[in-house]
Amino acid sequence: MLTKRIIPCLDIKNGRTVKGINFLNLRDAGDPVELARKYADQGADELVFLDISATQEERETIYDLVRKVGREVNIPFTVGGGIASADKVAHILRNGADKVSVNSAVVRRPELAGEIAREFGSQCLVVAVDARLVDDTWIVHTHGGTRPTEIELYDWVKKMEDAGAGEILFTSMNHDGTKNGFACDALARMSDLLHIPVIASGGAGSMEHFKDVFTNGKADAGLAASIFHFQEIGIPELKEYLYKEEIPVRI
């Protein structure tokens, strides 16, 4: 059985790690380079770096910061934010990333997913999806969750799998930062629909929430930010808990 992955997420704005609730009211959470080093040392399985304002500000990801973080970690490192072409993917990978995360750009131009997968391999492509539950329908949002689309979640993730995505990173905007648990029903439906790994994001607040997302939510990985940044849960303690609960994790 494949082990379940624990993934800290660094949401970056103006060169600093930030965290909010439901994508709003951001507060400073520390230096991304120091946090990346700490999480790698603590046994995180992977690291995600999201330049959350790059698309809104119509600029490229902060390459020098990506480079600095890449030098500090020896675990798979995913970078997202403002990546809108295969050329930019190549630049991100040259600066130390192992994978790229694309979101708004593939909504705007879905064929980009296939272009990236063909040139760099599906294992390199994580399609991030921010969605909000609106009147019993999950609606995909772009530009850091600020712009709703008319795209329905499950149709979209299946389309991205067919296009060549290697993983789906699903963030529930309704659950983000609330610490009330992941969107396990949506995640389970997604995991049953797809043949690629699903990373759960949005709502982690306790160790039990991770157990729930790996069992009831059927997720392959659990991503969280504030509980790690503000030292509410330690990664070694979380993995020990999951191991005792018979969840397969890398200790």
Q: Would you please indicate which residues are annotated as catalytic (active-site) residues? A: 11, 130
Residue 70 CA to residue 65 CA, distance in Å, equals 8
> How many of the other CB atoms lie within 10 Å of CB of 111?
9
Token pair in block for residue 1? 């059985």
Contact in structure between 170 and 131 (CB atoms under 8 Å) = yes
State the DSSP code for 122.
Answer: G
3 state DSSP class of 212: helix
Angle (nearest 5°) at CA 229 between 227 and 235: 65
Residue 120 CA to residue 196 CA, distance in Å, equals 17
3 state DSSP class of 31: coil
Count CA within 13 A, CB hemisphere, residue 227. Answer: 27
For 91-101, b/e burial (b = at least 16 CB within 10 A) is bbbebbbbbbb
Token pair in block for residue 197? 């790994």
